[in-house]
Structure 1
């Protein structure tokens, strides 16, 4: 009976040691001006574990034992894979801009996607088209300049047209 209890204790202790996780924290900043990157994604490669950078560019993610690669990504920046050293708990990342990707990203009302994956019609208008005119509302700036767009000013009150 004594050997059986010793066996069970050893089994439970080994399960506890194998299931340990390390919390890794850090800051993600822009490489050009050092400003924090809000909303940058941090994922542990090969798992569904991840985190998002806060307004100060800080993140905290639990890394399971045996997983040592973090994948850092943000729209408009090159994705980076960082291999953690043994016992490393702080990672500060400087992201480099990827200007080639900026032309390929379209922001839609429910997320972002590549321009090639967008189905339907899309119209883009540069700021120089808006600068030269006197406008009081955004809908006035689109009227007559974006093909297929009809802009109508409403009061926004419930029941109005």
Structure 2
């Protein structure tokens, strides 16, 4: 009889020791400006449990346990890992810019691509060159500074037709 009672108490104790899960919410912003970052990936490390921040940088991730590590990652920013404390329901994170990662992104006429994925030539016009030229319009900064680039300006009535 005692063995059965001990077995029952052991089973109850085992179930109560299982990790309690809860929700964690918060906001993600950038260190330089303090502005919220939409589209930041938040994932519980070594799981497939993850969410993305909304337009205002807010997120809520469910089924998180104390001791889990949340990984915050976003293109152009250094990833950050935060360990969830016991009953910690709010975690706000500030991501720092990763300048090295930004050098690998190239802006093209119809979007952005990583430098390694581009098959054509890449020409760079630095911000120092633009400041030195002090152009009124951006096309003036490109004209004569990027090899093989022809810049033409449409009259105002043609611009309206294209829009």
TM-score (norm 2): 0.63
Shift of 1:118: 2.8
Question: Measured at CA, do residues 93 and 129 of structure 1 come closer, stay the same or move farther in structure 2, by a change above 3 Å?
Answer: same
1:74-98 deviations in Å (ceiling 9; x for gaps): 3332111223234322112232343
Within a 5 Å distance, the mapping from 1:61-72 to structure 2 comes to 61-64=60-63, 68-72=68-72
Shift of 1:134: 5.5
Output the CA distance in 1 between the equivalents of 2:64 and 2:49.
Answer: 14
Corresponding residue number in structure 1 for 2:89: 89
Aligned partners of 2:143 and 2:149 also within 8 Å: yes
Identify unmatched segments of 5+ residues in structure 2: 1-19
Task: Choose 65-74 or 149-158, whichever is displaced more.
Answer: 65-74
Shift of 1:26: 1.4
Identify unmatched segments of 5+ residues in structure 1: 1-19
Give secondary structure in 1 for the equivalent of 2:94. Answer: strand
Corresponding residue number in structure 2 for 1:131: 131
CA RMSD of the aligned region, Å?
Answer: 3.1
Corresponding residue number in structure 1 for 2:153: 153
Shift of 1:50: 1.4
1:11-57 deviations in Å (ceiling 9; x for gaps): xxxxxxxxx974422122444x57134235132233263112544xx
Output the CA distance in 1 between the equivalents of 2:95 and 2:117.
Answer: 25
Shift of 1:153: 1.0
Corresponding residue number in structure 1 for 2:25: 25
Q: Are residues 1:51 and 2:56 paired?
A: no
Q: Which has the higher helix share?
A: 2
* Number of residue pairs the alignment of both structures matches: 136
Shift of 1:65: 5.3
Aligned partners of 2:27 and 2:58 also within 8 Å: yes
TM-score (norm 1): 0.64
